[in-house]
Structure 1
Amino acid sequence: MKLYAIQLLLLVAVLASPFTTVCLASRAGPPPKCDPLALRPCAPAAIYGARPSGECCAEVREQMPCLCRYRKNLDLNRYINSRDGRRIAAVCRVRRLRC
């Protein structure tokens, strides 16, 4: 239980890092706000291998143009490139990143 709390705090700290910028890569409508904190609903799936929720999948799809930027961040990269990160992408049916 203590390890769970530490991991969750670490994830929140990483996601709360000053890495929130406006993403300019979207062509369909206004660009989404690149906010790693928006991916909080995916924490149980990323940390414990739980099935991604509908809210998680919606946020992953919305943040898709920003994921390449997150991938360059060493703290976030390990979640995106992890086995669970790839599983989240597969379950949520999002396209493979081409960065």
Structure 2
Amino acid sequence: MTEENPLLALRDKISALDEKLLALLAERRGLAVEVGKAKLASHRPVRDIDRERDLLERLMTIGKRHNLDAHYITRLFQLIIEDSVLTSKPCCSSI
């Protein structure tokens, strides 16, 4: 057995997790569109800074339990939140 086989097996596991992450991000994006529609119907702004702050705080707490760096969690979810906001805007402006 070569040293490559365990490495390939680990890479395969990472690739499988990456696919799951992408599927979850796509599902989240779909929900962001629905949130945008709900906000439009209730005449609320697309961006909710208080909600974003609370979400990041909660996610950092959860991340800490999993030994994930707070800066990493913040950067990652700021990108995800920004995508959600941008995804919601076309829905809200076109309906």
Choose between structure 1 and 2: higher helix proportion: 2
Choose between structure 1 and 2: higher strand proportion: 1
TM over 0.5: no
Higher relative contact order (CA 8 A, sep 6+): 2
Report the structure number with the largest CA radius of gyration. Answer: 2
